[in-house]
Amino acid sequence: MDTDCAQLKHQGSTFMSYTTIILKAGALLPSTMDLFSNWDESDSVDSNLARLKGSNVFGKVTRERIKTMLRVMRNRYLFSEEVSNSLAILTKNGVGIAILKPILYFNTFANFTVSGRSSVCSNTFSE
């Protein structure tokens, strides 16, 4: 039986499942806003990440935490220059968190399921 994270069938019951990949890093909303507030649309994703990692605009204590956080953000929002640049433009032009939050969550989940990582399940809860 296929154990897809979207739904698991077990003895005729439908289960919802949640993954540790999304849960490990949390929402990171303040740090994500910092990322896009300091994003340079004329630079590549790699150039932006290198610059931001070196300048520590996130105020994190360790470089390892910054590295982990940027890896998570790369997977969530930086898979396409069009997406990352659009999010930066929205952030820099004062679009509030109330509007950005669902967009960020959408991109997190959309990239999560498209990339095939949806098959990694940690907990299964009955509906």
Record the pTM.
0.68
User: What pLDDT shows up at residue 125?
Assistant: 30
Q: Tokens in use for 126?
A: 């009955």
User: What pLDDT shows up at residue 124?
Assistant: 31
- In angstroms, the Cα distances linking 42 to 77, 88, 101 are 17, 11, 24
User: What pLDDT shows up at residue 91?
Assistant: 96
What's the number of domains the chain is made of?
1
Tell whether 82 is covered by a domain: yes
User: What pLDDT shows up at residue 48?
Assistant: 95
58, 31 Cβ separation under 8 angstroms: yes
Measured distance CA(42)–CA(97) in Å, rounded: 24
Tell whether 84 is covered by a domain: yes
Low-confidence residues in the chain, pLDDT < 70: 1-26, 111-127
Residue-range definition of the domain harbouring residue 55: 25-116
